[in-house]
Amino acid sequence: MEDGQALADLIATRLREEDGREPLRPVGPEILGGPHVPRVPSAYENSRLAPEECLAKLESLGVAFAKPSFETPGVETPLLLKGPVAGVIVRPRWDRPKPENAVMDCHLALAVFDLAERARESGVTEILYYSAYRPLRRGDRPRNPSQHRAGLGLDVRWLVLRDGRTLDVLDDFERSDGAPPCEGEPTTHEGRLLRDLACGLYRDAIFNVILTPNANKAHHNHFHLDVTRGAKWHIVR
């Protein structure tokens, strides 16, 4: 869903601003709906886990998964979720006979556990996304490598609440083009829930890259979340 060049440019600009070091700016608990204690490692620590360590951690958290029955080139530790994650259903919006879009690398699935826990605490029962893994197709030009190619990126658009309502990032995130998403005050409950979810993940460094609709036109209708191997920096836009 994202423009690869736009994403690459955002990251390059941020790293130039910080000279390659991205300190975590404090995000006050007053805008995050209360404290949350992560049970998963930060994105940097997560990405350094060996495959067997990552899989063991997922199992210890009670996450059910299986190895895909098809090839997934570029994904180090591919898996398909086989049940709720932290009590939340996490699935693609549209099912496919061959569910390539549902394949996650173990390290992404580990970060998704924390996403699901935070969402559950806000009354979410389902997280629906466009895709995680997106393999190269014939004719593709991989000029700007995407974490989706490694099963390490996730594009989330819809959150289903316990009361049956569905939040849509396109409609419910209070977009302000180019503005830092963790500043300012949302005017609606839905806007606050979405903002707090993204900014809480950033505060605790669960993902390396968090792009909201504020980032650019290519992300106007979803959150892009990814784990970048070995990266010590963190971006929210």
Domain boundaries, the chain: 4-236
The predicted structure's pLDDT at residue 42? 97
Residue 18: per-residue pLDDT: 45
Rounded CA-CA distance 195/116 in Å is 15
Largest CA distance in the chain: 48
pTM for this model (two decimals)? 0.88
Contact status, residue 214 vs residue 186, Cβ threshold 8 Å: no
Residues 19 and 200: beta-carbon distance below 8 Å: no
pLDDT, position 146: 86
pLDDT at position 126 is 98
Are 128 and 160 in contact, with CB atoms under 8 Å apart?
yes
Cβ neighbourhood burial of 4 (10 Å; 0-12, 13-18, 19+): middle
- Between CA 138 and CA 132 the distance in angstroms is 19
pLDDT of 32: 55
Written as tens digits, the pLDDT of the chain (237 aa) is 455 556 666 666 555 554 444 444 445 544 455 679 999 999 999 999 999 999 999 999 999 999 999 999 999 999 999 999 999 999 999 988 899 999 999 999 999 999 999 999 999 999 999 999 999 876 566 555 689 999 999 999 999 999 999 999 999 999 999 999 999 899 999 999 999 999 999 999 999 999 999 999 899 999 999 999 999 999 999
**Closest by alpha carbon to 202, among 57, 61, 43?**
43
Output the pLDDT for position 19: 43
